[in-house]
Structure 1
Amino acid sequence: DEKVVFLTFDAGYDNGVLPKILDVLDEKNVKSTFFVTGDFIERESDLLMEIVWRGHLVGNHTWSHKDITKLSDQELETELRKVEGAYQRLTLRPMPKLFRPPAGQFNRESLLKVQDLGYKTFFWSLAYRDWLTDEQKGEEFAYKNVMDNLHNGAIILLHTVSEDNCKALGRIIDGIRAEGYAICNLDYFLKSSSSKEAACGRLF
């Protein structure tokens, strides 16, 4: 079986780190998915366009990053549709139907509603407390958190505000590949088996 992992990012705001992350991804020829909130789209429209121009996917992380288990069906639909609309007005293209619930909070009803709206929901299997910008613990800490927990099929969640992630990202990508993994994007799950290689950072 092919060994694959998926590199994803959550983006609620930018503190100057994201442009450097994009440069590393370019340098390493890796495509990722960025799950964005409405606030990010409104405040960081230039960065959103940069993400799209560089060939990455953008997923829906809701408009206001609320606990979706506490929303009515209509409120949840509004949260997703507002992000879709803002994305489409900015990029002039439909938004990929990729969803990640804020803070990973969900219940059966909310996931069924998201599915009814045409979305595939993506959680993660590898993450750490990297979003606390005043508690960054260094490049080596970030590197070890990813590499020590790497497994086949891993969906890695990193936050775009982490300096540690940014500094370690090149090494992380090299380390993942050295372990024999292909780094794929989430459209891997939307493609036929014959075209899955297009979703990966290297060919099968």
Structure 2
Amino acid sequence: MKLFKRIYIKAYYFQLNQKLKPLRSTSVLPDKKNLFIYFDYEREFGAGFDCIRDEQVLHILDLLDEFNIKTTWFTVGRIFEKYKESINQILSRGHEIGSHTYGHIVPFKSSSKDLKKDFRKYNQFSSAEIPIHGFHAPEGMWSKSSLKELFDNNYIYQVTGVQKNENYMPGFYKKNKDKLIYRLVTAGDDWAMYKNQHDSQEVKKFFLQLIEKIPNGGVGGVGFHPWVIHSDKKILDGFKLFLKSITSDHQISIKRADSYIN
């Protein structure tokens, strides 16, 4: 049954990606690995972990300031209601806010009706003063219905998992000549580090190996969860080492996700 499910999911996304058109962006440097760092910002509204505090979010923002890295935070909509000050802090440091759905629902597992309601709620609680252009689905499992909602709600891009044999180049889905949704891909995130026995050097190496997947001239993301970073001091220390390493590597260009769309 699990094998059938994996085959079905693979075929589902393969079919959707047949409609994807390549994008040649002038923001993409042809002689560098074009990287964006993103966070799935969920607090207690995500995977059931209530172990992140405001000061820990600020600590991550301070580290990003230290290395002069601007990032994208895909934020669950309920955070706008309960932790609005943290949103203001993220924005004030020059980072981008994107959507991770209002209620941390998985589009692939949700009905069209529930998705429409979720997008409507996100629009209601995210301030009109905060432009929301990007979307990353929980569990990375977007759907045809969520793509429709992105078009209908005037989003600009989404981040998805990379498919086999893809070249890490931006692409776009086209509804009509005036409606496009751009697509960026992620090379992976920090889930594999959670509750695993790794020292800080091994954590750094794991994230650097994700970047190695991105060819020169390609664009790829590496994702983090604030609660995973702070779940273990070794992960936090490895995260710091990773930031130091990528900012000293002249073969890597680091921008916010939206900066690769023009």
Matched with 1:149 is 210
What RMSD over aligned residues (CA atoms) do the two structures have, in Å?
2.3
In structure 2, distance between residues paired with 1:41 and 1:168: 29
* 1:130 shift after superposition: 5.5
Q: Secondary structure at the match of 1:62?
A: coil
Select the structure that is richer in strand. Answer: 2
Question: Does structure 1 residue 158 correspond to structure 2 residue 224?
Answer: yes
Q: Distance in 1 between matches of 2:57 and 2:236?
A: 8
1:11 counterpart (12, 32, 41): 41
Residues 182 and 27 of structure 1: CA distance in aligned 2, closer, same or farther (over 3 Å): same
CA distance in 2, matches of 1:9, 1:136: 22
What stretches of structure 1 of length at least 5 have no aligned partner? 192-204
User: How many residues of Structure 1 are paired with residues of Structure 2 in the alignment?
Assistant: 187
- What secondary structure sits across from 1:31 in the alignment? coil
Shift, 1:45, TM fit: 1.6
CA positional deviation for 1:155: 0.6
1:147, distance to aligned residue in structure 2 (A): 0.7
Q: How is 1:185-204 mapped onto 2 (pairs within 5 angstroms)?
A: 185-191=256-262
C-alpha contact 2:115 2:145 (8 A) present in aligned 1: no
Name the SS for the 2:210 alignment partner: coil
Q: Is the 8 A contact 2:210 2:222 kept in 1?
A: no
What letter corresponds to residue 180 of structure 1 in structure 2?
A: Q
> What are the superposed Cα offsets for residues 144-184 of structure 1, whole Å, 9 maximum, x if unpaired?
11112212422111111122554333321232231520111
Larger Rg over CA atoms: 2
Q: Which structure features the higher share of helix residues? A: 1
- 1:95-122 Cα deviation digits (max 9, x unpaired): 3210011111123333233233222111
Give the residue type in structure 1 aligned to 2:240. Answer: G
Q: What is the distance in 2 between the residues matched to 1:103 and 1:156? A: 14
Of the three residues 13, 20, 24, the one matched with 2:59 is 20
Specify which of 159, 184, 207 is matched with residue 122 of structure 1. Answer: 159
- Which TM-score applies when normalising by structure 2? 0.64
- Secondary structure in structure 1 of the residue aligned to 2:142: coil
Corresponding letter in the other structure for 1:7:
I
Question: 1:136 Cα deviation (Å)?
Answer: 7.0
Which stretch shifts more, 157-166 or 23-32?
157-166
Out of 128, 133, 146, which is 1:97 matched to? 133
Give 3-state SS (helix, strand or coil) of 1:121's partner.
strand
Q: Is the 8 A contact 1:63 1:80 kept in 2?
A: yes
Q: What amino acid is the match of 2:244?
A: D
> Gaps spanning 5+ residues in structure 2: where?
1-29, 44-50, 161-185
Assess if the C-alpha contact under 8 Å between 1:34 and 1:59 holds in 2: yes
Separation of aligned partners in 1, 2:237 and 2:66? 14
* SS at structure 2 position matched to 1:59: strand
TM-score normalised to structure 1 length = 0.80
Aligned to 2:108: 69
Q: Percent identity?
A: 22
Letter in 2 for 1:146: F
1:40 Cα deviation (Å)?
2.4
